Amino acid sequence: MTLHGFDDGTGPQDSVIPMRILVGDTTADGQVNVSDIGQTKSEAGRAVTSANFREGITVDGNISSADVALVKARSGTSLDGMLHRESSSSKGAATKTRPRFH
């Protein structure tokens, strides 16, 4: 993501901020697994609110079986896996790094 015209006190400039999004990671732990499926199922049938927005995967304003199905389809994916693929394609030997969440 790039912030254009960001002023950090030294004058406006563009700032690049790395960002990774993992579809289905409703628990925000960097992986899609049974916890995400359970969390999404527990909100099924409800409207999306500020408290449950992470479970609204299909972005239609409601949490439904479509959201649960999408999380199930992404189960087993992780940010670690994304980082591993990127680093292995760039320079022969892959180095796995853990994402930092602040």
At 8 the three-state DSSP class reads: coil
More confident residue, 75 or 83: 75
pLDDT digits (tens, 9 = 90+) for 23-38: 999 999 999 999 999 9
- Residue whose C-alpha is closest to residue 57's, from 100, 25, 9: 25
pLDDT digits (tens, 9 = 90+) for 11-65: 899 989 888 899 999 999 999 999 999 999 999 999 999 999 999 999 999 999 9
Query: In 4-43, which positions are buried (b, 16+ CB within 10 angstroms) versus exposed (e)?
Result: eeeeeeeeeeeeeeeeeebebbbbeebbbbeebbebbbeb
The token duo for 28 is: 């925000």
